[in-house]
C-alpha cells in the first residue's frame, strides 16, 4: 500500500546527483564499530545538503580499482561540516577504505541519490535495518522525532559483531534526545536480542503499535521480506535498495531495477539516481534477483518482458512546484 503523499522526494527537492559535490575529504576519525569501521569525514559542502537515504561514492585510492564504492551516508552534521559512513570490508576496495585512519584523505562524491521522504506527521513509523544497512537509521530517526508519532527501530544482523553497536546504543539510550522511541534487536545466532531475523520482529511490532509506514535499508533479500511483512500488515514501505553500482551517477545503467510507474508501465530505473529509495510497491519483485542467462540467481534484476519498449515518461508536475517525481514515475532523470 502506498499513499499519494509518499513520493521519492518532497515537492521541489532535487535529486541528489544535482546537489552532489566532489571532495577530497580529510578523515577526522576512524573508529571500529563492531565488525565495521565508522569514518567521520570533513565535508562541509556535502553535509549541508545530505539527507537520510542518500549515499556517498568513495574512491578506493588504488588506480587498479577505478570505480568508486557506494556507502549510505550514516549521518551528516551541517553545523560541524561532517559526514559519516560505516564501512564493511567486503572485498578489496572496501577493505582499503576500511583501513583509512585519521589524517588520511578520502575522495568522495556526495550526496548522491534520492532520500527517504518523511511520512506525514503524527503517523507511527518503523525503521528496519540489517547489518551495515542500519547505518542511516539513527540519523533518520532523529529527523522523524518531534513529528508527534512513535518511531520504532528494528535492527538485525547475523551476530552481535555485525550489529551497528554505536547506533543501537544511541537509539536505545532512553534519553529525551534519543533518536527513536523503542529499539528491537534480532541476531540470527541469538548473540544479542531475539534469535531470528528482523522480519520475525517486524510483524509483532506493527501489530502492537499500528504503524503505517516502514522505512528500511539493507540487502535486497531482506528488503523484499520486509516489504512482504509490512504489506501484510497494511503498512507502506520505502526501501533504500542496495544494487550493484559502477558509475554511481546515472551513466552506465549497471544499477537498474524494474519499477512500475504511475501509468502502470514498468521501466528499468537507475538505483543510483532514480533511487536508491523506492516505494516497495513499485518494485517488480518477480524480476529482482531472478535467474537469467546473464546473471546467477539473487544478483541484479532481469528486464521484464512487458518493460521492453516502455515509453520514457515525462516528469509529472508536482504540487508545490519543482521537478520532483514519485518513484517510478519517470525514467528520464538528469544524467
Ligand atoms: C546505495 C548503496 C549503499 C551502500 N551502503 C553501504 C554501507 O553503508 N556500508 C558498506 O560497507 N557497504 C555499503 N554498500 C555496499 C558497498 O558499496 C559494496 O560492498 C562495495 O561496493 C564492494 O566493493 P569491493 O571493492 O569491496 O568489492 P568487490 O566485490 O571487489 O567490488 C567489485 C565491484 O562491484 C561493485 N559492487 C560489489 N558489491 C556491491 C554492492 N553490494 N553494492 C554496490 N556495488 C557493489 C563495486 O562498486 C565494485 O565496482 C552500499 C551499496 C550501495 C549500492
Ligand atoms: S551505477 Fe551507473 S547508472 Fe547507476
> Does a structural domain hold residue 154?
yes
| pLDDT for the residue numbered 319 | 29
Residue with cell 564493511: 88
Shared domain for 133 and 231, answered yes or no, is: yes
Angstrom distance (rounded) from CA 297 to CA 299: 6
Closest ligand relative to 256 C-alpha:
2
Q: What are phi and psi of 141, to 5 degrees?
A: -60, -45
Give the total number of structural domains in the chain: 2
CB distance 278 to ligand 1 below 6 Å: no
* 37 within ligand 1 shell (Cβ under 6 A): no
Q: Which ligand is nearest to the CA of 96?
A: 1
The separation between CA 59 and the C-alpha centre of its own chain, rounded to angstroms, equals: 20
pLDDT tens profile 176-220: 888 999 999 999 999 999 999 999 999 999 999 889 999 999 999
For residue 246, the ligand 2 atom closest to its alpha carbon is: 1
Q: What is the average per-residue pLDDT within 125-137?
A: 95
| Predicted TM-score (pTM) of this structure | 0.89
Give yes or no for residue 171 having a pLDDT over 60. Answer: yes
User: Does the pLDDT value for residue 82 go beyond 80?
Assistant: yes
Ligand 2 centroid, distance to 6 Cα (angstroms): 24
Residues 143 and 220 occupy one common structural domain: yes
CATH number at residue 140: 3.40.50.80
The CATH number assigned to the domain holding 22 equals 2.40.30.10
Give the mean pLDDT of the chain: 85
Which of 197, 219, 240 is where one domain is finished? 240
Domain limits for position 221: 125-240
The residue from 112, 142, 172 where one domain ends is: 112
Q: Which pLDDT tens digit goes with each residue over 32-60?
A: 999 999 999 999 999 999 999 999 999 99
Nearest CA to ligand 1 atom 27: 91
Together in a domain, 174 and 203: yes
pLDDT of residue 77: 96
Do 131 and 236 lie in one domain? The reply is: yes
Same structural domain, 156 and 209 = yes
Amino acid at each position: 500500500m502506498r499513499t499519494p503523499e509518499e513520493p521519492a522526494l518532497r515537492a521541489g527537492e532535487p535529486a541528489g546527483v544535482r546537489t552532489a559535490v566532489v571532495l577530497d575529504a580529510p578523515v577526522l576519525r576512524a573508529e571500529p564499530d563492531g565488525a565495521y569501521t565508522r569514518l567521520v569525514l570533513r565535508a562541509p559542502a556535502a553535509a549541508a545538503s545530505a539527507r537520510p537515504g542518500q549515499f556517498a561514492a568513495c574512491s578506493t585510492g588504488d588506480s587498479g580499482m577505478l570505480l568508486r564504492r557506494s556507502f549510505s551516508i550514516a549521518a551528516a552534521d551541517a553545523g560541524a561540516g561532517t559526514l559519516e559512513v560505516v564501512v564493511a570490508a567486503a572485498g578489496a576496495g572496501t577493505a582499503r577504505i576500511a583501513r583509512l585512519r585519521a589524517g588520511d584523505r578520502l575522495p568522495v562524491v556526495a550526496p548522491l541519490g534520492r532520500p527517504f521522504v518523511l511520512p506525514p506527521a503524527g503517523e507511527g513509523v518503523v525503521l528496519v535495518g540489517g547489518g551495515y544497512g542500519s547505518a542511516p537509521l539513527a540519523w533518520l530517526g532523529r529527523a522523524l522525532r518531534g513529528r508527534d508519532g512513535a518511531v520504532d527501530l528494528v535492527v538485525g544482523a547475523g551476530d552481535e559483531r555485525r550489529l551497528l553497536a554505536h547506533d543501537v546504543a544511541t537509539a536505545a539510550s532512553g534519553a529525551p534526545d534519543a533518536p527513536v522511541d523503542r529499539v528491537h534487536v534480532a541476531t540470527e545466532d541469538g548473540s544479542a536480542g531475539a534469535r531470528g531475523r528482523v522480519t520475525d520482529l517486524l510483524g509483532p511490532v506493527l501489530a502492537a503499535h499500528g504503524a503505517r509506514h516502514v522505512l528500511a535499508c539493507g540487502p535486497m533479500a531482506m528488503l523484499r521480506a520486509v516489504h512482504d511483512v509490512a504489506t501484510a500488515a497494511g503498512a507502506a514501505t520505502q526501501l533504500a535498495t542496495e544494487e550493484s553500482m559502477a558509475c554511481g551517477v546515472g551513466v552506465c545503467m549497471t544499477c537498474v531495477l524494474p519499477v512500475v510507474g504511475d501509468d502502470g508501465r514498468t521501466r528499468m530505473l537507475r538505483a543510483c539516481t532514480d533511487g536508491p529509495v523506492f516505494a516497495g510497491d513499485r518494485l517488480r519483485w518477480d524480476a529482482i534477483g531472478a535467474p537469467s542467462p546473464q546473471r546467477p540467481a539473487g544478483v541484479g534484476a532481469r528486464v521484464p518482458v512487458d518493460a521492453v519498449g516502455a515509453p520514457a515518461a515525462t516528469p509529472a508536475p508536482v504540487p508545490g512546484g519543482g521537478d520532483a517525481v514519485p518513484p517510478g514515475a519517470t525514467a528520464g532523470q538528469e544524467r
